């Protein structure tokens, strides 16, 4: 089974990826770990794409992330299932703030070693506005239109619970 998880910052992509990968006894593949090197330095694009290609060559994967330059079209095409976490802005901001509180001074599993958890106004603004421009929303909707038979749109935790219960 190949699963692509997409969605807004703070929506729970990494948490869901960890859960679904654990159910399949495989490691989740976090695109933030690919995109960033320690200290939030961006990796060279071609090196990052090669890492994604290697993961996609496996028979089963759970890939968490949105980065279009990291073979998004190929990931979505190859995925058996696409999950779009389309949570409200405020929910995402609250989750990001809680994550910052819980991991302050630490590195999460879903980012590169040495990327210390941080929250600043720029990231909050991204969660609330810049990451939700018409172009981003149109991009997600295009994915749903292109792959309706294999895309689940999850808008809240209740819907996620229902979705997870129905897929077993």
DSSP 117: B
Block means of pLDDT (10 residues each) for the chain, 168 residues, are 97 97 97 96 98 98 97 98 98 97 94 92 96 96 97 98 90
Length in residues, the chain? 168
Element (H, E) at 52: helix 45-56
Q: How far apart are CA 18 and CA 52, in angstroms?
A: 17
Contact 9, 96 (CB under 8 A): yes
Q: How many domains does the chain have?
A: 1
Which structural domain, as residue segments, surrounds residue 159?
2-166
- For 34, 92, 133, 161, the CA distances from 136, given in Å and listed in that order, are 21, 16, 5, 26
Residue 6 structure tokens:
């997409």
* End-to-end alpha carbon distance in the chain: 13
pLDDT at 168: 64
**Helices 121-128, 89-103: crossing angle, 10 deg rounding:** 150
DSSP 43: P
pLDDT at 56: 98
Sign of the dihedral defined by the CA atoms of residues 8, 99, 67, 148, in that order: negative
Strand partners, 63: 4, 29
pLDDT at 167: 82
User: Cβ neighbours of residue 84 under 8 Å, at least 6 residues apart?
Assistant: 6, 7, 140, 143, 144, 151, 152, 153, 154
| Closest among 93, 70, 67 to 6, alpha carbons compared | 67
CATH, residue 106? 3.40.50.300
Q: How far apart are CA 165 and CA 130, in angstroms?
A: 33
């Amino acid at each position: 089974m190949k699963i692509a998880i997409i969605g807004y910052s703070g929506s729970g992509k990494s948490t869901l990826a960890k859960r679904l990968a654990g159910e399949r006894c495989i490691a989740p593949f976090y695109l933030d770990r690919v995109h960033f090197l320690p200290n939030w330095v961006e990796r060279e694009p071609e090196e990052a794409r090669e890492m994604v290609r290697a993961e996609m060559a496996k028979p089963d994967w759970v890939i968490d992330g949105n980065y279009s330059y990291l073979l998004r079209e190929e990931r979505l095409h190859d995925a058996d299932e696409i999950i779009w976490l389309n949570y409200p802005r405020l929910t995402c901001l609250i989750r990001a703030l809680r994550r910052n509180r819980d991991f302050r001074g630490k590195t999460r599993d879903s980012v590169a070693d040495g990327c210390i958890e941080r929250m600043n106004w720029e990231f909050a603004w991204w969660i609330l506005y810049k990451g939700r421009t018409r172009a981003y929303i149109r991009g997600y909707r295009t994915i749903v239109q292109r792959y309706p038979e294999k895309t689940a749109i999850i808008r809240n935790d209740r819907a996620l619970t229902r979705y997870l219960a129905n897929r077993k």
